[in-house]
Amino acid sequence: MKSAMELLRPLLAAAGQKLSASIVIGTVKGGLHDSGKNIVASMLEAEASR
Q: 1-50, pLDDT tens digit by residue?
A: 678 778 877 887 787 766 566 778 888 877 777 788 888 888 887 777 66
- Answer for the pair 19, 46: CB distance below 8 angstroms, yes or no: no
Q: Give residue limits of the domains in the chain.
A: 2-48
User: Residue 31: what pLDDT?
Assistant: 74
- Answer for the pair 8, 17: CB distance below 8 angstroms, yes or no: no
**Reported pTM:** 0.51
The Cα angle at residue 40 between residues 10 and 34, in degrees rounded to 5 = 110
